[in-house]
Amino acid sequence: MKLATWNVNSLPVRLPQVLAWLEANPVDVLALQELKCTDDKFPAQAFAQAGYQAQWFGQKTYNGVALISKSAAQQVIKNIPGFDDDMARVISASFARTGKPDLRIVGAYFPNGQAPGSDKFEYKMAWLEALRRWLRTELQSHAEFALMGDFNITFDDADVWDPQGLRDQIHCTEEERYQLRALVALCLHDAHLLFEQPPKSYSWWDYRDFAFRRNRGLRIDHILVSTDLKPQVQACLIDKEPRKNERPSDHAPVVLSLAD
């Protein structure tokens, strides 16, 4: 079984690339972020023609998340229960597996935060705390669990092309990293770090200053797996090929392989 997460930075623009990627990489569940389209504009038929089902939670201009899957999604929840939010940032669902417990997947587009000290940063902190409270209860009900998406947070300096220059900047503040460590403390594990990875492995590169060509990026797209799911993880990689496309997303997919 394969799972993947990808911030596509506008599904209307990137749909042909997503469909081409799925044809070449037939994952079982793909979590998409930053759809930038309303629910009525979501291209469900295009995914159906490619053999995939979809659950989506859209929003005009910004945000928007979806789960694209080969099998039917069950127990779908949108956003964080109990947290008042007008942003389309979270979609979760369970997926049946033969001979194994259902797999619970949460696909999330974490707030950017803009800058430390800003109102958007305060919203990000409140959102992260609400997410952690909710996931604590989700993990009590779903032993086999994966949280994946664009976290907009680096774990440490290894995830940053210029640790000194970006220290205490957005995505790299101690406040954000504390919240990320608190998520991991719920008995979650960074799938990327379960395997030896090439140095300077990033998932996002700015469009400006030839950042991708110069590998000046950040690792901000993550897949966290529960302790019960961890033994089934066989590989986790960042697929940089789509970032080479014409008019690409500024993010690359992260792909997780699980034992069948």
User: Catalytic residues, which ones?
Assistant: 109, 150
Long-range contacts of 132-139 (CB under 8 A, 24+ apart): 132/179, 132/182, 132/183, 132/186, 133/82, 134/80, 134/81, 134/82, 134/83, 135/106, 135/183, 135/186, 136/186, 138/92, 138/104, 138/106, 139/186, 139/187, 139/188, 139/226
CB 228 within 8 A of CB 144: yes
Q: What are phi and psi of 209, to 5 degrees?
A: 55, 30
